[in-house]
Structure 1
């Protein structure tokens, strides 16, 4: 099930987490030279389908909440429909994309941008087309990003990725920004619950 939240914080770009995601990217030409520059890259349907589901669910959330209050049976039915759609989306994704088999990358993620470790350096200002797969929801986002810093790690944890790259998202869809924020909020909540659980165990 994709991450969800009832209210998106206004200062959302300041929310940031360390996370494990699947990520790939490629260099592209100047954004102004690309067709449809007022929009992110063209939809890759099976890759971004869960992100599209999330956007639809956010729009329907108020109406759905009212319906679920009226009937437990209807609430259970709608939940089952969501689960069916998720299964179909997962099947379509696994059939068409090889990203699911790629190793995860450690990133610092926010709605404004991300940083990640890389094999080779990238020049400042380089424009990237970036594919980002959030876990465990498998919600995929395709967007543009500009390189804002590139530095060599003195003692990299993984010698295959000696460089750390920081990027800012460009022309990202509003609903994809909301998806990232909800993902961040959910991960923060999960980490707090785990910390409390471990604290209780240590206190026993």
Structure 2
């Protein structure tokens, strides 16, 4: 596949969107901070890169685990337990390091190019945000910047989050974007499978 076709494929995957639940923290920042590359501190970058690397290793390990399971099912079960323990440790580290809280988990619509979510305050079109996301189902952390493209009254009757905001990601690290693309595609396929199973049962 040539570079042009590869770029088109990446663009198409970037537009895949899913409804999901993430642990989300954001704050308004100055436009200059958001548009200057490499503003994040080294610690944040290192932690996020570690999170992304762990997710990629986990995806590779799942393929190997499937092969091990065929010949050594007991070993495969043991490896799953070890993997679960590592996930719990990673979850604890990331929750502490980024000050995530359970009550910050909210429903979002997300793609590799942006995110939409209900929020508690009125934001203006053009506002710049620092965004920290914990993808709950994969325990991956992404820290990036975003620009508000709209903010309107939420259609959901929720006194805690009366506004609905759409944000385009900017200056996201390439490896985090690739990880998010894979996450969205995987989640979308799972949702399709779940819907088919539900339809077959009904």
Q: Quick check: 183-192 or 111-120, which moved more?
A: 183-192
Does the aligned pair in 1 maintain the 2:90–2:139 contact within 8 Å? no
The verdict on how the C-alpha distance between 1:87 and 1:40 changes in structure 2, with shifts beyond 3 A counting, is farther
**Do the aligned residues in 2 keep the contact of 1:127 with 1:144 (CA within 8 Å)?**
yes
TM-superposed deviation, 1:106: 1.7
Give the superposed CA RMSD.
3.2
Structure 2 length normalisation: TM-score?
Answer: 0.74
Structure 1 partner of 2:30: 29
Is 1:181 the counterpart of 2:172? The answer is no
8 A Cα contact 1:40 1:173, kept in partner: no
CA contact (8 A) 1:122 1:147 kept: yes
Q: Quick check: 1:136 aligned with 2:137? A: yes
Unaligned runs of 5+ in 1: 1-8
Distance 2:49 2:120 in 1: 26
Contact 1:50 1:86 in 2 (8 A): no
Per-residue Cα deviation, 1:140-194 (whole angstroms, up to 9, x for no partner): 10001111111123x4331221211111111101111112112211221221221
Counterpart CA distance in 1 for 2:39 and 2:16 is 22
CA distance in 1, matches of 2:19, 2:111: 9
Q: Mark the CA change 1:97 to 1:173 in structure 2 (over 3 Å): closer, same or farther.
A: closer
Q: Which residue of 1 aligns with 2:124?
A: 123
State the shift of 1:117 in Å.
1.1
Q: Which runs of 5+ in 2 are unaligned?
A: 1-8
For the residues of structure 1 that align with 2:102 and 2:171, how far apart are their CA atoms?
A: 28
Distance in 2, matches of 1:165 and 1:88, equals 33
Q: TM-score, normalised by structure 1?
A: 0.73
How many residue pairs get matched?
Answer: 184
Range moving further from structure 2, 155-164 or 178-187: 155-164
The equivalent residue for 2:52 is 51
2:55·2:138 contact (CA, 8 Å) conserved in 1? no
What SS does structure 1 have at the residue aligned with 2:117? strand
Q: Distance in 2 between matches of 1:171 and 1:97?
A: 19
| C-alpha distance in 1 between matches for 2:148 and 2:162 | 16
Q: Residue 48 and residue 83 in structure 1: after superposition, are their counterparts in 2 closer, same or farther (change >3 A)?
A: farther
Deviations 1:100-157 (A, max 9, x none): 422421211011111111111111111110011112122110001111111123x433
